[in-house]
Amino acid sequence: FFPTQPDGRLPSIFVLILLCVTGTYVSSSPGPLEDVVIDRYDIPRVCPREVQTGDFVRYHYNGTFTDGKKFDSSHERGAPFSGQVGLGRLITGLDRGVQGMCVNERRKVTVPPHLAYGSIGAGDVIPADTVLVFDVVLLDIWNTEDKVQTRTLSKPESCKRLVEATDFIRYHYNGTLLNGVPFDSSHSRNGTYDTYVGMGYLIKGMDEGLIGMCVGETRTIIIPPFLAYEEKGYGTVIPSQATLVFEVFMIDLFNPKDDIAVVVKEVPDTCTRKTVVGDYIRYHYNGTFQDGSGFDTSYQRNSTYNTYIGMGYVIQGMDKALQGLCIGEKRRVILPPHMAYGEKGTGDIIPGSAVLVFDIHVIDFHNPKDLIEIKVTSKPKKCNLTSEVDDLIQYRYNCSLMDGTLDHYENAPITTLGANKVIEGLDEGLRGMCVGEKRVVIVPPHLGHGENGAKGVPSSAVLHFELELLDLQKGVPDGYMFVWLGDSPDPLFPAMDLNKDLSVPLEEFTAFINLQVVEGTGRLRPGMDADGIIKDMFNNQDRNGDGKIVAEELKLKVEEDSDKARHEEL
């Protein structure tokens, strides 16, 4: 076991890394030792493997004489012994003494002289015919016939994709030697290990052990030394010929050839239009990684994400995923990193090379070129009079967002069309209606409340109106209080001068105007006090303010600073 050097000193013991084993007892006889005596004083509860002839082992030991005097110790050198069992490369007694050992087992092996260094001894260190006592702890065991071992510890119920060669993966791991001593952990660095599989970026055993894993799976991978770091080891953390044990948790995976993946969750019964490039969309989303951990959500902010589609305002994969959607549709989209934030990720939120999963709910969308949409749902058979600009109307409406929220009901507001009293799209939607008619009007945001929104109306929201026209009073052009519905009397003053006394006081003027309204030849501005309008008209014509109008005062007045004649209702 310890061949001497020419100067009689013991040789150095080199460090190797070994696999788990279970020990066996070797019986002893009373009287002079005929065989090794083994005391298994510390045996691990779990022993998946025991040392057999031909195995390679790595162990620490203290070597003493029977009086307790120490003659050698691998602990003091800081380098465990490595060698092959049963092939004559160890002293016979120790070859027998480690048979059947488990990794982490401790045993005391007493070796008689004839199974140690016999009558010759070992230089000036071990006298002839000396009984040797070795206190051994097994660190590692492996065999050249070993293969990579994998054991799944946990696995998600649904596993739609397995790791294949050329995939790029992100995973966490804890790395230990076979005796449980840790040498590395991605968790301690708070960052996943990211790499291609099956392309030589990993040790051979890890390349093999990762194949077939699911996202969310945890598995143990045991790698023999010749598929790990072999004789070289790795720095000071992985000894030569060390068996490595990895506990791996798969975070996500993708392939550089991947496109976006779309899973449609819910589609509305009616879908008259789908999103295209150039549309502006409002949607809610939950953003997660493939392991289910979230990184962002619009719901938490209580605000939709609003953007143009296909114009580079969002990541490439999302730009593509947002095309072909219906209002109200829900879908899950999976974006590979090369169509998301790539190798760099973004800030502390999204790591490099992360696959992103978005659950999307489309609230609404529109195109900046959209006009209002009108759908008549009910119309009276007789419809001789329809609403138009300047008309005074009374209507009932229910307003909601396209997802059915908001739901604002107004019983019977009154407004003048074309007078900027309501949003532009609603004003347009109320035109051309008969009293009793019902219609649905869809108003895009640029004809609604725009980017600023309004109370209860989000920015850039498409509005859904259900309208019913209750009353209609024909109006007069903006700036006028009265209009003729045909040709005015010519000459006008004699028609106004009802009693033919060549002057028209307020009472006579009022009677004349009311007569025109009754006979349908003239119209006062609706929605205002008729007497007040008529009095204003009278005062406008009574140039000298003497309380009566004469023929001369009906002539047009010309502004001194302009060559444009000022209009008069009459």
Cα angle 58, 61, 66 (rounded to 5 degrees) comes to: 145
The reply to whether 281 belongs to the active site is no
The reply to whether 341 belongs to the active site is no
Contact 223, 192 (CB under 8 A): no
Tell me how long the chain is: 570
**Residue 346 in this model has a pLDDT that exceeds 50:** yes
DSSP label at 457? Answer: B
Query: 37-142, what's its fold?
Result: Chitinase A; domain 3 (3.10.50)
Interval 549-569 mean pLDDT: 57
**Residue 16 in this model has a pLDDT that exceeds 60:** no
* Domain ranges within the chain, ordered by starting residue: 37-142, 149-254, 262-365, 373-473, 482-569
The reply to whether 61 belongs to the active site is no
Interval 484-525: pLDDT, tens: 888 888 888 999 989 999 999 999 999 999 999 898 888 898
373-473 classified as CATH 3.10.50.40: yes
Which of the following is catalytic: 2, 81, 173, 280? 173
Which of the following is catalytic: 1, 117, 183, 512? 183
Identify the CATH assignment for 482-569 out of 3.40.50.10680, 3.40.50.150, 2.60.120.560, 1.10.238.10.
1.10.238.10
Which of the following is catalytic: 43, 203, 211, 414? 203
Contact 335, 253 (CB under 8 A): no
* DSSP string of 75-134, one letter each residue: HHHT--EEEESSSSSS-HHHHHHTTTPPTT-EEEEEE-GGGTTTTT-BTTTB-TT--EEE
Identify the CATH assignment for 262-365 out of 3.30.70.890, 3.40.50.2300, 1.10.3720.10, 3.10.50.40.
3.10.50.40
CA distance 163 to 199: 13
405 pLDDT band, cuts 50/70/90, is: confident
Which of the following is catalytic: 184, 296, 359, 536? 184
Contact 285, 253 (CB under 8 A): no
The reply to whether 168 belongs to the active site is no
Interval 154-200: pLDDT, tens: 999 989 899 999 999 999 999 999 999 999 999 999 889 999 999 99
Query: 149-254, what's its fold?
Result: Chitinase A; domain 3 (3.10.50)
* Secondary structure E strands in 404-481: 408-410, 414-416, 438-443, 463-473
The reply to whether 203 belongs to the active site is yes
Give the model's pLDDT for residue 223: 98
The reply to whether 246 belongs to the active site is yes
Contact 62, 75 (CB under 8 A): yes
Which of the following is catalytic: 56, 61, 168, 229? 229
Kindly report the backbone phi and psi dihedral angles of residue 108, in degrees, each rounded to the nearest multiple of 5, phi listed first. -105, 125
125 pLDDT band, cuts 50/70/90, is: very high
Mean pLDDT of the chain: 89
566 pLDDT band, cuts 50/70/90, is: very low
Kindly report the backbone phi and psi dihedral angles of residue 535, in degrees, each rounded to the nearest multiple of 5, phi listed first. -65, -40
Interval 197-234: pLDDT, tens: 999 999 999 999 999 999 999 999 999 999 999 999 99
411 pLDDT band, cuts 50/70/90, is: confident
pTM of the complete model: 0.72
